[in-house]
Amino acid sequence: MNWGALLNVVVLAATLRAAIVAFGPAAQRIGDDLQLSGASLGLLGSLPILMFGLVALVVNKPVRVLGFDLAALLALVALALGLATRLLPDAWALWLGTAVIGLSIGILNVLAPAFVKRDFPTRLPLITGIYASAMAATAAISIALVTPLTIAVGGNWRIALTTSLPVVLLAIGMQAARYARERRTAGSSAPVPVDVDKHSSARVWRSPLAWAVTAFMGLQSLMFYSFMTWAPSIEVASGFTEAQANVHLSVGQVLGIFGSLIIAAVMQRVPDHRIVAVGIAVAGMLLFLAMLLWPELFPIWTPLLGFLSTPLLGVALALIGERAGSTHEAATLSGMAQSIGYIIAAIGPVFVGGLFDVTGSWATVLWSFVGVFVLLAAAGFIAGQNRTISPREA
């Protein structure tokens, strides 16, 4: 086991979710301060996800020129700048900072599966599970800190949105050190370009299996970011306080750490991943039905959903690596799945906000989540097959 590479992956993963999920617990305050409608607030919440999708469409070309390590370092620096920009008092700074955060994390999202494929080719599900667990841990901490930190600083939610900055600075230092080591090993100060297989890229975009992986990535992301953005509002409407709703979300992210590790261990041992992908989707569908029937039990349902939904990202990322036959194919499939997938996901928070504006009912929203999980099960059944888009590298 390359422990240095593993630590680098874990710290990198710790930067990828906290800056996004902190928005949900603060959404109501942000909407009140900026006088935003539900749809506008949903647009602000979905802006990073939209950036994920847009940047994934174009990131492969600059990454091929710069190399994986330098591209990751530059993206981390941009992430730090985006977080710092959100501290400025003007509304435009919040929108700009959020867009930059989405752009930088979008680049890192695409690079992550390629890093795992490159450094841990025989342990993809296990390392991806550890990766997802690190994301869940920092997300849980970020969610838990938003409300008390906002109150402690006199209602300044901008500071609460920036709690992940120290972790990002740590990741910058570690990635810079790794990049320097790679340069010394290569004996050159110039970036090392990534070899391109144009036939492999075309094959990925034509593959039904790749499209199933893309659908799985998009649907699980749509569900996750929509629920994380609006769950506090849904629970408040059911009689819980904002602080209680945030605790439920945070506990769910903590449980998701264990869920990710359990699912990763199962995927590492079982070559056919359909039972995992479909099983989690069916369980998620049942949880949303339970929320509709027994909303007073949100303190149980929300944490359980966190236990399930966090592993879904790990499953999606593992499917990218497992269905790809090479490192380059993994990067291409990652770009495809995350560009189209996150553009689909970006619709979620806006749609949910608009749906509530029109119907005035969160029950309609919960029913829409049930439908998402039905589609997710269908995509998982195809994407979980034990085969690759092209033959594996020797």
The domain in which residue 15 lies consists of 3-383
Instruction: Indicate whether 242 pLDDT > 80.
Output: no
User: Higher confidence at residue 249 or residue 374?
Assistant: 374
CA distance 342 to 382: 20
* Whole-number pLDDT of residue 351: 81
Residue with tokens 């909407």: 31
* Whole-number pLDDT of residue 393: 53
Q: Which two tokens stand for residue 372?
A: 């998402």
Instruction: Indicate whether 193 pLDDT > 50.
Output: no
- Cβ 42 vs Cβ 229: under 8 Å: yes
* Mean pLDDT score, 244-261: 83
* Whole-number pLDDT of residue 375: 94
Residue type, 61: K
Q: What CATH number should be reported for the domain holding residue 239?
A: 1.20.1250.20
User: Higher confidence at residue 126 or residue 362?
Assistant: 362
The CA-to-CA distance between both ends of the chain, in Å, stands at: 20
Q: What is the tens place of the pLDDT at every residue in 293-337?
A: 998 899 999 999 888 887 888 788 788 877 776 667 777 787 788
207 in a structural domain: yes
- Where residue 186 falls among pLDDT bands split at 50, 70, 90? low
107 in a structural domain: yes
Q: How many domains does the chain have?
A: 1
Please list, in sequence order, all residues whose beta carbon lies within 8 angstroms of the beta carbon of residue 189, skipping any fewer than 6 positions away: 183
* Whole-number pLDDT of residue 201: 66
How confident is the prediction for the chain on average, in pLDDT?
82
149 in a structural domain: yes
390 in a structural domain: no
User: Higher confidence at residue 269 or residue 98?
Assistant: 98
Distances (CA, A) of 43 to 58, 199, 346, 389: 22, 37, 8, 35
10 Å Cβ neighbour count for 34?
13
| Among 1-15, 26-40, 156-170, the range of highest mean pLDDT | 156-170
61 in a structural domain: yes
User: Higher confidence at residue 17 or residue 114?
Assistant: 17
339 in a structural domain: yes
* Whole-number pLDDT of residue 282: 93
389 in a structural domain: no
Entry pTM: 0.70
Alpha helices in the chain (DSSP H): 3-13, 18-21, 23-34, 38-58, 60-66, 68-85, 91-119, 124-152, 157-160, 165-186, 198-206, 208-237, 242-269, 274-293, 298-323, 327-359, 362-383
- Where residue 286 falls among pLDDT bands split at 50, 70, 90? very high
CA distance 146 to 137: 15
Q: Which two tokens stand for residue 314?
A: 């790990």
Instruction: Indicate whether 99 pLDDT > 50.
Output: yes
* Mean pLDDT score, 384-392: 72
CA distance 73 to 79: 10
Q: What is the tens place of the pLDDT at every residue in 18-46?
A: 888 788 778 778 887 887 776 677 778 77
* Whole-number pLDDT of residue 6: 82
Instruction: Indicate whether 145 pLDDT > 90.
Output: no
DSSP class per residue in 213-267: HHHHHHHHHHHHHHHHHHHHHHHHHTT--HHHHHHHHHHHHHHHHHHHHHHHHHH
| Among 172-186, 217-231, 305-319, 365-379, the range of highest mean pLDDT | 365-379
* Whole-number pLDDT of residue 290: 93
392 in a structural domain: no
